[in-house]
Structure 1
Amino acid sequence: MTLPPHRTPPEPSWRKPVGMLLMLLYIAVYAMIVGLASGWLTALPTPLMVAAYLVLGVAWLAPLRPLLVWMNTGRWRAGR
């Protein structure tokens, strides 16, 4: 039994596994950098330390957007 052309599943992309490995590598490096900076961060007053950890806890997401776009489209920038 063959599927009609409009129901044929797309070919698997190599970009998704490669992108996942790059994401894991990026997160590991980012975590190491934040871990190395933790000695300096703990010397800050508590409100500044909390603010720094909040910023650092969210800041890792922004650089991943182009990678996610590339994984899904094959281009580094999202189409407008």
Structure 2
Amino acid sequence: MTPSWRKPVGMALILLIVCVWCFLVASLSYPIGRLPALVQAPIYCFFGIVWILPLKPLLRWMELGTWR
């Protein structure tokens, strides 16, 4: 069984998504950092969970070759 080309491409896309998301959240750290800690916590929890959402179709594509 030969490995699929989709897995290395998918892993590269996952790394790209994570890097872009980290840059986005880091660029928002100054305005968010000025908020009270009780407001910062849910914002960072939200940002920590939302980046996972685009990965489900990507992982499905890596395994099955289809987006749906």
TM range (shorter): over 0.9
**1:76 counterpart SS class:** coil
1:13 pairs with 2:9 = no
Give the alignment of 1:1-80 within 5 angstroms.
10-77=1-68
Question: What TM-score comes out, normalization by structure 2 length?
Answer: 0.95
Task: Give, in whole Å, the separation in 1 of the partners of 2:41 and 2:3.
Answer: 43
Task: Give, in whole Å, the separation in 1 of the partners of 2:39 and 2:33.
Answer: 9
**2:35 counterpart SS class:** coil
The amino acid of 1:51's aligned partner reads P
Q: Percent identity?
A: 44
Structure 1: unaligned runs, 5 residues or longer: 1-9
**How far is 1:65 from its partner?**
0.6
**RMSD of the alignment, in Å?**
0.8
**How far is 1:76 from its partner?**
0.4
Task: Give, in whole Å, the separation in 2 of the partners of 1:12 and 1:57.
Answer: 31
Structure 2: unaligned runs, 5 residues or longer: none
The ranges of structure 1 where at least 4 consecutive aligned residues each deviate by more than 3 angstroms after the TM superposition are none
Task: Give, in whole Å, the separation in 2 of the partners of 1:37 and 1:64.
Answer: 22
Task: Give, in whole Å, the separation in 2 of the partners of 1:22 and 1:46.
Answer: 33
Question: What TM-score comes out, normalization by structure 1 length?
Answer: 0.81
